[in-house]
Amino acid sequence: MTAVSPIKIAARPQKAPASLDYLRARSLFDRPHSALEEKWLAIARDVSAEFAKTAVEGYRTRRPPRAEIARLKETGLSTLLIPEEFGGGGGDWRLVVEVIREIAAGNASVGVLLTHHYFGIEGIGSLPEPERVGAWKDAVATKHFRGVIANPRDPEIVATPIGNGKFALNGRKSFCTGAAFADQIGAQVRRADTQQYVLAILRPPLEGLTHLGDWDNIGLPQGDSGSFVLENVIVDEKDLRAFGPPPEDGKPNEPNLGPLGVPSGNLAFSNVYLGTAIGALRAARDYIQTETRPWILSKAERAADDDLIINGYGELWLQLEQALAVANHAAEKVQQAKNLPPEALTEDLLGELRVVVATLKVTATRASVDITSTIFELMGARSTANRYGFDRFWRDARTYTLHSPVFYKVRELGEWGLSGAYPPATFYT
């Protein structure tokens, strides 16, 4: 005689819940948010949903995302890192990375562009007091969107004095993310007279500043990280901002983003990865609920009720939650460090911060690449139709996660775990 369990199994819902809280770009174990933060996160969710509706079309046509950039300006998201008293959004890096995640979930290319724009805004904070306040106010008034020309692995751009307080910039850089659409570009250059690295502020169009239009990669088609050539681009000396201390021996030193520049960058990059994974899970959920057919051996009438699909989705959910928990922890650590005076940034504190961020980079890379690929196993063969564009999530994740080799991050973590050696401080760690 077969025993019947006394436990009643509740029927599964036949449609997705009205609230999408369970797939917001944040962890279930997230910190409480202030009213200000909730306001910005709500705006980011709405804007992300808008971007998601046009993401496939943008992918196919590779059109410049000028409409999306305009929305970031209109909503105020572009000023998020500027203090409220100067007209900005008043957010810190904990909030910024949550917004980046949300925007990347809708369109990863735009998430990448917003990330690099925030790097430009962050640079204002390192200016002297009077200049800093003026630059913040100007950023709010103009709503200039920022891009970069700063690949440290390419030959350097040289700024040569030509008299009357003018400099001529010459050189070439690849991976110039966002520069093609920027109102203002920060270019990493070296002064020929002092050998000091400086950040040249460029306001295109400029004679001699040429975008080569060579971005033709498998992912992030609207992100345009193509190359730029500078041929005798003339700038004023006041637009050359210190990018590290002058060399003491007259020889060029390494470009310097400050002790927290690279950890902040890797924190932001990793949250683009996770936003891409969130977008993939949202798309997969909707497709499974409405389009996927149960397999011939399944006892379920709907694919969304198939235990194997449910378990598979649960595994991806767990992977995402684990990565988001690490991301939130890393954001907290980075912000805590930013709140400290410079003298408190000890080598041990910075070394431990590099460990935390390296852990995030590895975790987020693995989660994003795996999730964006595995969703197809759950959605089924018909989901590979080009009209859905689901491959964009994997293409974007695979492209952006190659920013720096993740296996070196794993080695750094192994060295720290075995011998206590901190990851080296480089332009990438």
Cis omega (within 30 of 0) for bond into 205:
yes
Query: Which residue among 115, 145, 175 closes a domain?
Result: 145
Structural domain includes residue 371? yes
Structural domain includes residue 92? yes
> 210 with 304, same domain?
no
Structural domain includes residue 65? yes
Q: Which two tokens stand for residue 148?
A: 């970069």
pLDDT for 164: 96
pLDDT for 244: 64
> 152 with 141, same domain?
no
CA–CA distance, 100 with 113 (Å, rounded to integer): 10
pLDDT in tens, 347-376: 999 999 999 999 999 999 999 999 999 999
pLDDT in tens, 248-257: 776 766 667 7
> 360 with 376, same domain?
yes
pLDDT in tens, 88-142: 999 999 999 999 999 999 999 999 999 999 999 998 887 878 888 999 999 999 9
Domain that holds residue 228: 148-242
> 210: domain CATH number?
2.40.110.10
**Is residue 190 within 8 Å of residue 159, measured between CB atoms?**
yes
pLDDT for 242: 79
Structural domain includes residue 8? no
Per the rule left: phi > 0, alpha: psi between -120 and 50, beta: everything else, 311 is alpha
> 59 with 152, same domain?
no
Structural domain includes residue 7? no
Rounded mean pLDDT of 154-161?
96
> 139 with 154, same domain?
no
Against a cut of 0.85, is the pTM above it?
A: yes
Q: How many CB atoms lie within 10 A of CB 141?
A: 9
> 376 with 399, same domain?
yes
> 274 with 414, same domain?
yes
pLDDT for 53: 97
Burial class of residue 268 (count of CB atoms within 10 Å of its CB; 0-12, 13-18, 19+): buried
Query: Which residue among 94, 118, 145 closes a domain?
Result: 145
| Alpha carbon distances (Å) from 28 to 23, 132, 284, 331, 364 | 9, 37, 20, 16, 17
Q: How many CB atoms lie within 10 A of CB 195?
A: 14
CA–CA distance, 338 with 289 (Å, rounded to integer): 43
Q: How confident is the model at residue 8 (pLDDT cuts 50, 70, 90)?
A: very low
Rounded mean pLDDT of 41-50?
97
> 117: domain CATH number?
1.10.540.10
- Outline where 246-306 has alpha helix (H): 261-290
> Which position has the higher pLDDT, 30 or 140?
140
Q: Is the pLDDT of residue 9 over 50?
A: no
> 284: domain CATH number?
1.20.140.10
Rounded mean pLDDT of 179-194?
95
Q: Which two tokens stand for residue 318?
A: 């767990």
pLDDT for 31: 85
Q: How confident is the model at residue 19 (pLDDT cuts 50, 70, 90)?
A: low
> 214 with 171, same domain?
yes
> 410 with 329, same domain?
yes
Full 3-state SS string of 319-334? HHHHHHHHHHHHHHHH
Which candidate, 400, 30, 46, 76, places its Cα nearest to that of 215?
400
Structural domain includes residue 429? no
Structural domain includes residue 9? no
pLDDT in tens, 270-308: 999 999 999 999 999 999 999 999 999 999 999 999 999
> 378 with 299, same domain?
yes
> 296 with 408, same domain?
yes
Which of 7-16, 292-301, 309-318 has the lowest average pLDDT?
A: 7-16
> 275 with 412, same domain?
yes
Contacts with 129 (C-beta within 8 Å, 6 or more apart), sequence order: none
Query: Which residue among 109, 127, 145 closes a domain?
Result: 145
Which candidate, 110, 269, 88, 261, places its Cα nearest to that of 181?
110
Total domains in the chain come to 3
Structural domain includes residue 12? no
